[in-house]
Amino acid sequence: MNRGPVDSTRVPRFAGPATFARLPRLDEVERADVAVVGVPFDTGVSYRPGARFGPAAVREASRLLRPYHPGLDVSPFERAQVVDAGDIAANPYDIGAAIEAIEGAADELDARLVTIGGDHTIALPLLRSVAKRHGPVALVHFDAHLDTWDTYFGAEYTHGTPFRRAVEEGILDTEALSHVGIRGPLYGKKDLEDDRRLGFGILTAADVLRRGLDEVIDVLRQRVGDRPMYVSVDIDVLDPAHAPGTGTPEAGGLTSRELLEILRGLAGCHLVGADVVEVAPAYDHAEITSVAASHVAYDLIGLLAIQEKRA
Ligand SMILES: N=C(N)NCCCC(=O)O
Ligand SMILES: [Zn+2]
Ligand SMILES: [Zn+2]
């Protein structure tokens, strides 16, 4: 029997420590299938800082989650042993050391990870870790931004560059790379040419509106096929109305309803790991962003859990 969250019908949700969804800590169980892990790191940002406080805010907002997911018809915490593995200690003064620590900690965690950031820099070491287990993976990347730029101020490892580095390192399957929710001004047309050359296909925020959810889901599923798939969700894929608490907001984004529906549309794909990044609580209001991020994480856990054999 898997150990689930604290029972909210007996202990009020607002009481006790805020592990993700009030799940047990990793050290309280014998083994874990799925681990939620925080990476409070934001030294890679190019604009507003503050995503280092993302993991704490998302855990706090996750107190209200309930144990049954009707959209996926699964009780994820029954189907899989899901735990909160705490935070990875990442050096805030040395991006290289932080990236190494994140990769090392991810390697050591013997579970499929849903990582709460932190800025988008952290996707690179997380992808390195999944690629060690699965080889180059398919990527479904939800973001307002391409994050395939080359450098910022000469720096190669930033929150705007993880996916270019990942392609260069050969840890992504370049036949199966998608961005969803892209919008907003770029530095130049070359950004799109470079991105295409790296192998990415783009479904813009306008595509989500005009082509609709079913077609977007179809395109993504076809591109992923049966490959191992990593899902990276930059919360700024949502419109600032749905996610004000983030560092590089762009107008014209997805609703949280659209994002959650697309995620559910990936049910049955071979998800091997995921992250939710760029929640910067200082710019949030009424926990709008951290509530959205906690639901995204819950859906990702649901997608991982449905791959476990029924108990
Ligand atoms: N939010 C992420 N990951 N990247 C934004 C980089 C956009 C820029 O500074 O040009
Ligand atoms: Zn972004
Ligand atoms: Zn990003």
Q: What interface predicted TM-score (ipTM) does this complex get?
A: 0.97
Q: Which of 42, 43, 45 to mutate to test the pocket of ligand 1 (most atoms within 8 A of CB)?
A: 45
Ligand 1: does its nearest atom lie under 6 Å from the Cβ of 159? yes
CA–CA distances in Å: residue 152 to residues 156, 191, 247, 259, 305: 7, 13, 16, 29, 38
For ligand 1, atom 6, name the residue with the nearest CA: 160
What digits encode the pLDDT tens for the residues 105-151? 999 999 999 999 999 999 999 999 999 999 999 999 999 999 999 99
* Residue list, annotated binding site for Mn(2+): 120, 143, 145, 147, 234, 236
Q: Are 69 and 79 in contact (CB under 8 A)?
A: no
> Could you read off the pLDDT of 152-166 as tens digits, one per residue?
999 999 999 999 999
Atom 4 (ligand 1) nearest CA: 160
Task: Work out the pLDDT band at 211, boundaries 50, 70, 90.
Answer: very high
Using CA atoms, how far apart are residues 172 and 158, in angstroms rounded to an integer?
18
Preceding omega of 245 cis (within 30 degrees of 0) = no
**Percentage of the chain modeled with pLDDT above 70:** 100
Phi, psi of 278 (to 5 degrees): 75, 20
Query: Do the Cβ atoms of 82 and 5 come closer than 8 Å?
Result: no
Are residues 86 and 103 in contact, defined by beta-carbon separation less than 8 angstroms? no
231: Cα within 13 Å, side-chain hemisphere: 31
**Which are the contacts of 37, defined by CB distance < 8 A and separation ≥ 6?**
84, 85, 86, 87, 88, 105, 106, 109, 113, 114, 115, 116
Nearest to 20 by CA among 304, 243, 295, 221: 295
Distance 145 CA to ligand 1 centre (A): 6
Q: Which atom of ligand 1 is nearest to the CA of 278?
A: 1
Report, as an integer, the average pLDDT of 236-251.
Answer: 98
Say yes or no to pLDDT of 310 above 90.
no
At 311 the pLDDT is 59
Contact yes or no for 276/235 (Cβ under 8 A): yes
Q: Which structure tokens are listed for 60?
A: 């706090």
pLDDT interval class at 309 (50, 70, 90): confident
Query: Could you give the C-alpha distances from 192 to 95, 175, 186, 199, 304, in angstroms and in order?
Result: 27, 17, 9, 11, 32
What mean pLDDT do residues 233-244 have?
99
Residues 6+ apart with CB under 8 A from 220: 140, 178, 180, 203, 262, 265, 266
Decide if 241 contacts 235 (C-beta within 8 A): no
> Which CA distances in Å does 190 have to 22, 159, 162, 182, 279?
46, 19, 18, 15, 28
Mutate to test the pocket of ligand 1, among 39, 47, 192, 279 (most ligand atoms within 8 A of CB): 47
Q: Which two tokens stand for residue 227?
A: 């490959």
Q: Which residues of 149-158 are buried (b: 16+ CB within 10 A; e: fewer)?
A: beeeeeeebb
For the CA of 152, the nearest atom of ligand 1: 9
Give the Å distances, CA to CA, from 73 to 76, 158, 268, 303.
9, 38, 13, 10
Radius of gyration of the chain (CA): 18
Ligand 3 centroid to Cα of residue 146, in Å, is 7
